[in-house]
Amino acid sequence: MTRAAVVALLLACAFALAGCSGAKTKSPASQSSAREYRSIPTDRRGGSRSSDDNFRDDTNRPQSSRYRDNDDSVPGGPAPDISKLVEPVPKVEPRALYGNKSPYSVLGQSYRVLPSARGYVERGIASFYGNKFHGYKTSSLENYDMYAFTAASKTLPLPSYARVTNLQNGKSVVVRINDRGPFHQDRVIDLSYVAAVKIGIWPKGTGLVEVRGIDPGEPMSEPPPPTLVTTGHAPGIYLQVGAFSDPANAERVAQRLRLANLGQVQVVQSDVNGRHVSRVRVGPLADVERADDVTARIEDMGLPRPQVAVD
């Protein structure tokens, strides 16, 4: 199923039933590298798109003709001073009528929306989305604003808040979650353009992050320092190919991976809910592009799609 088909499915779901998840799936950086972005002149609000009185997001139109632009882009002209933009202050808000159905399915994967952002902590790969979707509806049927500190999540409720920290430079930002995605399995969050710029995810397009849910009912506290700062050890990307109760099975899979020359292969022993398992991992890998390539090669070997871990 193409990304456009996924978008159409989510839109149909959203308008057919209040609370259904997803107005669109849009994560150009999550599908490929930021090299596919082009820079275009734009004003503070996205240029002619936002100032055009005739502009209307017709969600009934097919994805091939819904957006004005075929490719995503970032501002190439006058843009706001991001240092002067104010991050959102977390507050208690009612759940959105749209985008919170649970469970919901996309591309054969089922997702459950969390009851709240409280206690949520996840590390992984972040991507971002920009001008193509500026002014169009998010999954909660709000207008997407690439100059607002927002983000898309597969599981956090809409709306909710999270602090996103770039594990490679220690920069962090508070974002308001108002959209669903990214549905690229190896991505944990899609940031708005300004949020990506603030923590250094742009212009590369992707980065390693930690996402911590914020409970508006509790006082804001400083985020814990990222691994890079506390130990001097930069986080790396690992691909977990499987977790086996039988160590012999784990070693057989590990040997196949070693013969494929995909990188360093480890068999890590751990306990999960009182059960001893042997995890087979490939890594650390040099960057997101390498992780995507190795993921595809592992699937071509007939093995299950690996899970991304950032340690």
Q: Are residues 139 and 184 in the same domain?
A: yes
| pLDDT value at residue 135 | 83
Half-sphere exposure of 169 (CA within 13 A, CB side): 11
The pLDDT assigned to 232 comes to 58
Indicate which CATH number applies to the domain containing 144.
2.40.40.10
Are 22 and 121 found together in one domain?
yes
Query: Is residue 73 located within the same domain as residue 214?
Result: yes
Pair 274, 184 in one domain: no
- Residues 59, 118 within the same domain: yes
Is residue 232 in a domain?
Answer: no
Rounded distance between C-alpha atoms, residue 276 and residue 274, angstroms: 7
Return the pLDDT at 178: 97
Which of 173, 208, 227 lies at the terminal end of a domain, its last residue?
Answer: 227
Residue 155 lies in a domain: yes
Q: Is 243 exposed, middle or buried (0-12, 13-18, 19+ CB in 10 A)?
A: middle
Residue 177 lies in a domain: yes
Clarify whether residues 220 and 246 are in a common domain: no
Per the structure, how many domains does the chain have? 2
The answer to whether 191 and 175 are in contact (CB under 8 A) is: yes
The pLDDT score that the predictor gives to residue 107 is 81
Domain end position, chosen among 227, 261, 277:
227
Q: Is residue 185 part of a domain?
A: yes
Instruction: Please tell me whether residues 213 and 244 are part of one structural domain.
Output: no
Are residues 57 and 136 both part of a single domain? yes
Residues 187 and 267 in one domain: no
Q: Residue 158: what pLDDT? A: 97
Residue 153 lies in a domain: yes
Residue 290: give its domain's CATH number.
Answer: 3.30.70.1070
Q: 227, 262, 293 — which closes off a domain?
A: 227
Q: Are 148 and 64 members of one domain?
A: yes
H helices within the chain, ranges in order? 3-16, 28-31, 48-51, 63-66, 193-199, 227-231, 247-259, 288-300
Which positions of the chain have pLDDT values less than 70?
1-55, 58, 62-73, 75-79, 219-233
Strands 237-244 and 160-166: unpaired
Is 122 contained in some domain? yes
Q: Are residues 254 and 284 in the same domain?
A: yes
Within a domain: 192? yes
215 falls within a domain: yes
CB 49 within 8 A of CB 134: yes
Residues 136, 245 within the same domain: no
Range of the domain at 292: 237-310
